Amino acid sequence: MSTIMTPEFWLALSQIILINIVLSGDNAVVIALASRSLPPSQQKKAILFGSVGAIVLRVVLTFFAIYLLSLPYLKLVGAALLLWIGIGLLTGDDEGGNLEGHSNLFAAIKTIIVADLVMSLDNVIGVAAAAKGDIVLLVVGLVISIPLIIYGSTVILKLMNRFPIIITLGAGLLGWVAGEMAFSDPSIAGWAGSHHDLHLVLPVTGAVLVVAVGKWMESRASAQQAALETRGA
């Protein structure tokens, strides 16, 4: 275990913090997307509890990262789940306008944690490598990253209120990550290795699929709502 007073400890800790800053961008987008439809008072709670839950999951996953990522088909399942989450966020499935505030808050937190669970399968490898097996380094570095994720989510949420296009870009980002995750699954490593263009084709396809399906479902829902309002008038 590293000694806290040694330069090696602080160098490794700095590496972990930097990795978390770089890799937490996707998570901040998901947190902001899932919180956007809540009242301001509940947005803060969703960001706080969702972020803390996400970090706890990341700590747990990091301890099992190498084993988990060696399992065939796990990344394919995770990629499919990310596509579903991206489409749901884009269509506003997390809004739940007819639900009570508590239900909305719970749904937002659940979406945040599930999305982070999937995305962290790739992220934790970098953190685990920097920690070099030192659990103290691992936990301290991840705990320090909590305010970084929370702050990033708050900034993105404010930007989404001013620029709605960010919602579409964020959902597309989830589709992109899903494509990257599917490409790196051990079960298709041999086949994917002989098709080098897939490392770009799959992420692009994932992003386009999420945005296209999400927008189509959103327009269909709007048309159905308009039809109901017309009948009720």
> Does 1 fall in a domain?
no
pTM for the model stands at: 0.64
> Does 219 fall in a domain?
yes
| 89-99 pLDDT, tens digit each | 777 654 444 33
- High-pLDDT (> 70) share of the chain, %: 73
| 104-124 pLDDT, tens digit each | 788 888 877 777 777 666 566
DSSP string, 159-171: HHHH-THHHHHHH
> Does 128 fall in a domain?
yes
Cα-based torsion angle of the residue sequence 149, 152, 158, 163 in order, rounded to the nearest 10 degrees: -120
Range of the structural domain that residue 38 is part of: 7-232
> Does 2 fall in a domain?
no
Residue 130 burial (CB count, 10 A): 21
DSSP string, 16-36: HHHHHHHHTHHHHHHHHHHHT
Distance CA 112, CA 232 (A): 36
Q: What is the pLDDT of residue 132?
A: 65
Residue 27 burial (CB count, 10 A): 25
In 3-state terms, what secondary structure has residue 92?
Answer: coil
> Does 43 fall in a domain?
yes
Contact 39, 96 (CB under 8 A): no
| pLDDT confidence bin for 157, thresholds 50/70/90 | confident
Q: What is the pLDDT of residue 206?
A: 94
Check residues 104 and 20 and name the one with the higher pLDDT. Answer: 104
Q: Is the pLDDT of residue 141 over 80?
A: no
Look at the chain and report how many structural domains it folds into. Answer: 1
> Does 228 fall in a domain?
yes
Longest dimension (CA), the chain: 73
> Does 130 fall in a domain?
yes
Structure tokens, 78: 């995770």
Q: What is the pLDDT of residue 21?
A: 60
| 21-50 pLDDT, tens digit each | 655 666 777 777 788 778 888 888 887 887
For residue 231, count CB atoms less than 10 angstroms from its CB and return exposed for 0-12, middle for 13-18, buried for 19 or more: exposed
DSSP string, 179-217: HHHHHT-GGGHHHHHT-TTHHHHHHHHHHHHHHHHHHHH
Q: What is the pLDDT of residue 96?
A: 40
User: Looking at 6-10, 54-58, 212-216, which range is the least confident one?
Assistant: 54-58
> Does 158 fall in a domain?
yes
